[in-house]
Amino acid sequence: MEHNEINALRTKGVIGIAIAGWAASLSLAALIPAMGTQAFHALAASVLLNLLPTIAAWQRRYDSAARMAVALMAALQPALMLYALRGAPWQIDMHMYFFVAIATLTILCDVRPILLAAATVALHHLILSIAAPSWVFSGGGGVNRVFIHALAVVLEAGVLCYIATTLNSLITRIGSALAESEQATRSAEEALRLADSERAERSRLESNLAARRREDMLRIAADFESSVSEVTMAVAKSARALDEVMHSLDENARDTGQQAGEVAAAASQVSNAIDAVAGSVTELSRSIGNIAVTAGRQDELASEAGTRTETGGDAVRSLANQSKTIGDATRSIAEIAEMTNLLALNATIEAASAGDAGKGFAVVAQEVKQLAAQAARATREIEDLLSGISKGTGEAENSFGKLSGAIAELARSAMTVRSDVDSQRAATSSIEQTMGDTAAGTEQMAHNSAVLANRASTTQKLSGDARQNVKALLETIHSLERSAGDFVASIKAA
Amino acid sequence: MYIAKPESKPKPRRLLGLSQAVIAIGAVGGLLLAPPAFGQLAFYPISPAADRALPGIVFQDGRRAVARTALGGGYVMQGARPPLSELLFEHGILVLAVPQGGCTGAVSGT
């Protein structure tokens, strides 16, 4: 990276060389009256060569292209002087300006423009000494003169390159040192400025800090006072609420103790009543046992009555069958009596036919006929009796059937009664068990009621103590408020 | 202290040096071809009318023909140079110097 000092020197060099180029053009213009057309042509070429270096100088350019353009112009301006003075005795003296032009390029601090200018001058001499010798040396100089001039140009270029390089290095080092010095100066000034700024800032911060600290203290004191006031108010409010709660608790404990005593007394009464009920239930259980025994006896009797009723029924049915047998025998007797009557009738007829001899026989026949009639009447009476017996046995059989149904119903009722009695016995047993449990629970309830009454008494005592403590807490809160007020007042006064 | 402006246009840098080289070559070459006020001159017609008028013009003012030019159908004359602008703009004739050994040199005597 090149330093600004070198660039500034190069810019000055470009500008100066461009101005020198226009000075050369003016010189050529001055030669026109003396040298005529060739000076005019040289002037035109000189103006052309000055254009780009002038633009570069106008633009403050110092880059390598600008330097090379300036070097080319500087090397050719003396050549134009030679051309303009062609044939004049002073032409040879114009060669001095080649050395001047090349030496002027040293200000560019670059070896390349020097080398380019030297090469251009050398080529100019070599080419024109062959192509147009009159442009270089009046009357011709020969190759030897060209080489002498070229050697001088080379030597000068070498020395100038060394000087340019050394100058570049020196300026670079000086620039670096200067930059470092300026940097150090700026750093020192910056450090001093920072120190002053920090000192002022520290002073301002300390002042602000003190003011802020006092503001913070006042704000903290106000916040503390407000917080303590809020806290004490809240605690006092809570304490008063607690006192009210304790008062209510005391009353509740008193009511609870009273109600617990009443519950204990009621539980004792309930226990006694349960004992009495348990005794009644025991009696009821015994009575149900007796009913169960009676129901069992009734069942047995119903079974026996049923058996006997069936036996009676069988006897009646046997009697009915025998009455039918008697009826059959009776109808046989009636048939015999009818046949006897018919026989007596025949005997009567025969006796009548026999006359007087048959009169006795007719009397016997009459008697037989009467016996047959009597037998027939006896038979009808027997049939009537048998009919009454059959009707009676039917009714008896029917009665026995109904009786058997009633006895069966009775047996079922007895079984139902026995089953119900068994259920009642189970129910009474369960009632007895429940009553026992109830009695135990009642006793436990009475015991618990007594404990509750005792605890209610204890609670009442504790609530009283708590109310005393609440009063002490309220006094402490008032004391805290006074202390906080004194503390805040001392802070504000500080 | 003078501080130069930073380089802001990097691209035209080489163009500047190249353009200057072209101008230098052109200027020196132009000088080689610039016709002197008196001496050997090459007259080149650059239009058909100039071609027809060229013989009548080149022999004015006591100029003497030295040879025909190698190219372009011109004449190499020895003598005073007429005004360049008059020849170029009124007659269409270009006048150049005749360097020794150049392409404008004479190829045959008259």
Answer whether residue B33 is part of any domain: no
My answer on whether A134 and A276 are in the same domain is: no
Q: Work out how many domains chain A is built from and give that number.
A: 2
pLDDT at A28 over 80: yes
The number of residues in chain B equals 110
Whether residue B22 lies inside any domain: the answer is: no
Give the distance from residue B90's alpha carbon to the nearest chain A alpha carbon, in angstroms: 21
Tell whether B47 is covered by a domain.
yes
- Cα–Cα distance for residue pair B98/B36, rounded to 1 Å: 9
Q: What is the pLDDT of residues A39-82, one digit of tens each?
A: 998 999 999 999 999 999 999 998 989 999 999 999 999 999 98
Residue A66 touches partner B, C-beta closer than 8 Å? yes
Domain boundary among A141, A167, A191: A141
Q: Which of A119, A33, A5, A111 is nearest to A72 (CA)?
A: A119
Q: Is A174 among the domain residues? A: no
- Non-local (6+) Cβ contacts of A383 within 8 A are A327, A330, A331, A334
What is the C-alpha end-to-end distance of chain A, expressed in Å? 66
- Sign of the C-alpha dihedral computed for residues A126, A132, A137 and A143 taken in this order: positive
* Shortest CA gap A66–chain B (Å): 6
Domain boundary among A141, A162, A182: A141
Return the structure tokens found at A132: 């147009």
List, for residues A434-461, the tens digit of each pLDDT value. Answer: 888 888 888 888 888 888 888 888 888 8
Same domain, A334 and A461: yes
Please tell me the predicted confidence (pLDDT) of residue B104.
46
Task: Please count the structural domains in chain B.
Answer: 1
At B3 the pLDDT is 53
The residue range of the domain holding B66 is 38-97
pTM, whole model, 2 decimals? 0.47
Residues of B in contact with A101 (CB under 8 A): none
Q: Residue A99: what pLDDT? A: 92
Residue numbers of the domain that contains A9: 1-141
**B21 belongs to a structural domain:** no
Task: Examine residue B102 and state whether it is found in any structural domain, yes or no.
Answer: no
Q: What is the least distance, in Å, from the CA of A117 to any CA of chain B?
A: 12
Question: Closest partner residue to B4 among A7, A64, A83, by Cβ?
Answer: A7
Asked if the Cβ–Cβ distance from B32 to A45 is below 8 Å, we say no
Residues of chain A found within 8 Å of residue B32, distances taken between Cβ atoms: 131-132
Contact A65 B14 (CB under 8 A): yes
Distance between CA atoms of residues A318 and A298, nearest Å:
30
Of A107, A141, A175, at which residue does a domain stop?
A141
Amino acid at A352: A
User: At A341, which CATH number?
Assistant: 1.10.287.950
CB-based burial of residue B66 (10 Å sphere; 0-12 exposed, 13-18 middle, 19+ buried)? buried
Query: Burial of B29 by CB count in 10 Å (0-12 exposed, 13-18 middle, 19+ buried)?
Result: exposed
- Is the confidence at residue B109, as pLDDT, over 70? no
Q: Where are the beta strands (DSSP E) in B1-110?
A: 38-45, 64-69, 75-80, 93-97, 106-109
For chain A, the average pLDDT equals: 86
Does residue A171 sit within a domain? no
Q: Does B70 fall in a domain? A: yes
Q: What value of ipTM does the predicted structure carry?
A: 0.71
The strand pair at B106-109 and B75-80 is best described as unpaired
Please indicate, yes or no, if residue A486 is contained in any of the structural domains: no
Burial class (CB in 10 A: 0-12, 13-18, 19+), B17: buried
With tokens 């003169």, the residue in question is A145
Instruction: Quote the pLDDT of residue B13.
Output: 65
Interface of A with B in 4-23 (CB under 8 A): 4-5, 7-8, 10-12
Per-residue model confidence (pLDDT) at position A141: 61
Write out chain A residues lying below 8 Å of B101, CB-based: 131
- CB–CB of A295/A418 below 8 Å? yes
Is B14 a member of any domain? no
Test mutation, B11, B16, B18, B22, chain A, max A CBs within 10 A: B16
Q: Is residue A247 situated within a structural domain?
A: no
Q: Of B2, B23, B99, which has the smallest distance from its Cβ to A8's Cβ?
A: B2
What is the strand order of the sheet B106-109 is part of? B93-97, B38-45, B75-80, B64-69, B106-109
Cα within 13 Å of Cα(A155), Cβ side: 6
Residues of chain A contacting residue B1, judged by C-beta atoms under 8 Å apart:
5, 8
Question: CB-side exposure of A294: number of CA atoms within 13 Å?
Answer: 9
Q: What is the pLDDT of residues B77-106, one digit of tens each?
A: 888 787 777 777 777 888 888 866 544 444
Q: Which of B4, B16, B100 sits opposite A56 (nearest CB)?
A: B16
Kindly determine whether residue B34 and residue A63, on different chains, have CB atoms separated by under 8 Å: no
State whether A464 and A318 are in the same domain.
yes
pLDDT score, position A54: 95
Whether residue B23 lies inside any domain: the answer is no
In angstroms, the separation between the Cα of residue A164 and the nearest Cα of chain B is 19
